[in-house]
Each structure stands twice: as structure tokens, then as C-alpha cells.
Amino acid sequence: MYPEPTPVTVLTGFLGAGKTTLLRHMLQAEHGLKLAVIENEFSDTPIDGQLLGDKPVELLTLANGCVCCSIHVELEKALYLLLDKLDAGELAFDRLVIECTGLADPAPVAQTFFADEELAQRYVLDGIVTLVDAVNAERHLQETIAQAQVGFADRILLSKTDLASAEQVEALSARLARINCRAPIRVVEHGRIDLAELLDIRGFNLNADIGPALTLRPLMPAGKTPDRIATLVLKSEQALDLDRLSAFMEGLLEQHGNSLLRYKGVLSVAGDERRLVFQGVLGLYGFDWDEPWAADEPRESVLVFIGDNLPEEQIRAGFAELQA
């Protein structure tokens, strides 16, 4: 019988966004947690400098009990190494933070925790946190990988806002919301932020919390955005037929599975009083029945897709057919 799975936070963001500064704050903050860090971005910062070496995997235990792990091999090997040392009593940690390189796609990292059965039992992906450099974001977001990092996020942290104008920050926040309307946007000051914003996000839990931001952020009309990555929201006040819904989702995943970065839905199904919730990353997804709809609650289906160049009109037309 395995112990409780270890929560995992994935830290991503384009080059120079401030990931290592934030990571240093997380390691030094008075939170009483023992964090393990898998870090694979090297520079001349104090943390990284201590980790450089010629071994494929190196471990460094800090004074407060936090553990740093530098890797020159695949992520799975580092994850299993930490588990081996945890099970043997050689290490103790409460949570794991993975710092991605600035040019890394978060998708393979996220998929690791779903595709490998043992890792899925021993770790639970809590959330993906993306840093965005407020000064250089316009240039960075010309790169699809930077947009994808935003699209995968459960939290978006703006850094260097003190060096940008209020107008810049406002315009950037609106753009980030169009790319990813699910993720709350917060400001991080020189790597400092309340850790409650970063931990216990439960971004990959199967639940009916689809995010209050959907009703607060107007979305740019189709075809007007400069970004390949964008949010598509589908809503229906009509109860949906389960078989037709399944066929719609299967077709969507078959045609566009590799373009669907993150997606989540809370659905009203005809003939059932319970909510049906689902979510996924690319082609990997899960679904379950949730709590019944309250008697005085409007039964509305909401599906949120964050994707790369999705054919919005085609998908909306297919969804409309479900309600015919």
C-alpha cells in the first residue's frame, strides 16, 4: 500500500522571467515544509552553482531540509531516484517542485504524472505555475512555446511589473486572459509571493470548480487575436445527451488532441441529477460524476478548451448540434 501521494508543482516560464528567483524564495521562506526540487536550468545563481557537477543526477540537501536535485537525464529517472531515497529513509520531503527550462514545453512534464502508473500513484500533479516577464512579454509571446507555457498554467505570475508602465501591465493581463482564462493572474515582486498562491492549487483535481474568471473576462472575437494559443468556451443551458456528447468529445480528441493543451468541463447530462466533470492534457483525460445539481441552481454545461490554432467555428458548430 502506497503512502499519500506527494503534491507536485511545475514551475515554468520563458527565459529570464524569474523562475530561479521565485524558487529561491520558496526554498528560503518560513513555511515549515520540506521541499524537494528537481531543477534542470543552470546559470551562475547561488542555487544552480552548487548543483553543477558531472554526474547524471546530483542531490544537495539544504540547511532547512529542502532537497535540490539537478538532472542531466530524463525526468522519470530523477522522480524514481527521489522515491527510492524517500522509501529508504535517506530523504524526507513533503512536496516536489519541478523547475523547467525557459524553452521547455510543459506538456511532457505534465503527461509524465499520468502516463506512468507507479508515478501516478506516488505523485499528484497539483498545479502548473507560469511566470511572465512584464517588460519583455510582447517579444517573448511571439514564440509559440511561451504562449503554450501560459496556456498550460493554473496560475500566472507577472514579474518585473515595477519596471513596466500600468498601461503595459493592463494590456498584458488582458492578453494573457485571452490565452488562458482559467488561470488567475498574480504579481510576484522580486520572487516574493504568498506561498498559498502556489501550493494546494488542485489544478488537476476532477471537480466542478471551473473558475469564476470565465464570467468576468471578455474574450476577443475569433480571428482577432495575434496568438496561436487561445481559450475557447462553450456553454449550454440545455441538458446534453451522453452518447452524442461522448461522440463529440471523441471526435474532437481524435482530430485535435495534440492541439488541446488543457481542457475542463462541468456538464449537465440528460436523465442524471449529478454533474459530469472531466479534464485533460492533450490526449490524456479523465472524467467522473460529481455532486448533484442543487434544486435552485441553474444547470448549465460549460466546457473550456485552451488550444493551439483550434478551428473555433467548426467546434462551435459541432457543439451546437448536440443541442439540436
Domains of the chain: 6-197 (3.40.50.300), 212-322 (3.30.1220.10)
Distance (Å, whole) CA 125 – CA 98: 11
How confident is the prediction along the chain (324 residues), in pLDDT tens digits per residue? 668 899 999 999 998 898 988 988 888 877 788 888 887 644 334 344 444 345 656 677 777 777 887 666 678 888 998 999 899 998 888 999 998 887 788 888 888 898 888 999 999 999 999 999 999 999 999 999 999 999 999 999 999 999 999 999 999 999 999 999 999 999 999 888 988 889 899 998 877 777 544 443 444 454 456 799 999 999 999 999 999 999 999 999 999 988 999 999 999 999 999 999 999 998 888 889 999 999 888 899 999 999 999 999 999 999 998 875
DSSP element (H, E) containing 289: strand 284-292
- Residue 194, C-alpha cell as written in the block: 504568498
- H-helix segments, 29-165: 46-51, 75-87, 106-115, 117-122, 137-140, 144-151
pLDDT of residue 217: 40
Torsion angles phi and psi, residue 253, rounded to 5: -70, -35
Which residue is listed with cell 520563458?
Answer: 14
pLDDT of residue 12: 94
Of the chain, the end-to-end C-alpha distance in Å amounts to 48
Quote the Cα angle for 126-73-104, to 5°. Answer: 55
- Residue 177, C-alpha cell as written in the block: 486572459
Distance (Å, whole) CA 19 – CA 104: 13
pLDDT of residue 225: 63
Quick count: other Cβ atoms within 10 Å of Cβ 166?
Answer: 8
Which residue is listed with cell 529570464?
Answer: 16
Distance (Å, whole) CA 153 – CA 10: 9
Distance (Å, whole) CA 18 – CA 288: 37
pTM value is 0.86
- HSE-CB at 1 with a 13 A cutoff on CA atoms is 2
Q: Which amino acid is at 5?
A: P
DSSP element (H, E) containing 284: strand 284-292
pLDDT of residue 105: 86
pLDDT of residue 74: 77
- Residue 195, C-alpha cell as written in the block: 506561498
Q: Which residues have C-beta within 8 Å of that of residue 128, sequence separation ≥ 6?
A: 9, 10, 12, 106, 110, 152, 153, 154, 155, 203
Contact between 257 and 230 under an 8 Å Cβ cutoff? The reply is no
Q: Which amino acid is at 100?
A: C
Q: How far is CA 139 from the centre of its chain?
A: 22
